[in-house]
Amino acid sequence: KSVLILNGPNLNLLGQREPEKYGTSTLHDVEQLCRETAAKHDLSVTCLQSNHEGELIEALHQAGKALLKGDMLGVVFNAGAYTHTSVALADAIKGANVPVVEVHISNVHQRESFRHHSFLTPVSEGVIAGFGITSYVLAIEGW
Ligand code: DQA
């Protein structure tokens, strides 16, 4: 069974982007860590990053199809800033009927108030935030 590691806007810049908030690991490092973690639990991962809301929606739809086929457990999703803005992503999660664990590298509740609200939380199985890139590990281990 596989888990989709889905990363949204600006997460391709990990490593160089505000390292005091997001650390110095790159997206490649994060994806490698996810593969290693999944392997320990006899899972495989597919990794996808996009800066485009529509592509993230398509990926959720595809995950929903894979779920129906029995190939997929769910999605570990860091939607970046779309977390706080996107009704469309929340609708896609609901519509595709795909289990999602919402992940954030930083503790969004410690930051600006506009980061405190998430459109994804009400349609997610769980939320992990604030553990740096270990947030992804904890999300995979949650399956
Ligand atoms: C983030 C938190 C979001 O508020 C921000 O827009 C991001 C990254 C995180 O992983 O901490 O892009 O999702």
- Cα–ligand 1 centroid distance for 80 (angstroms): 4
Task: Check residue 143 and give its pLDDT.
Answer: 84
- The preferred substitution site among 13, 104, 137 for testing ligand 1, maximizing ligand atoms within 8 Å of CB, is 104
Q: For the chain, which ranges sit under pLDDT 70?
A: none
Model confidence, pTM: 0.97
Given this structure, which CATH class describes domain 2-141? alpha beta
Query: Of 65, 66, 24, 25, whose CA–CA distance to 45 is shortest?
Result: 66
C-beta separation of 46 from 81 below 8 A: no
Ligand 1 proximity of 135 Cβ (cutoff 6 Å): no
- The preferred substitution site among 7, 86, 108 for testing ligand 1, maximizing ligand atoms within 8 Å of CB, is 108
- Confirm whether the ipTM is greater than 0.95: yes
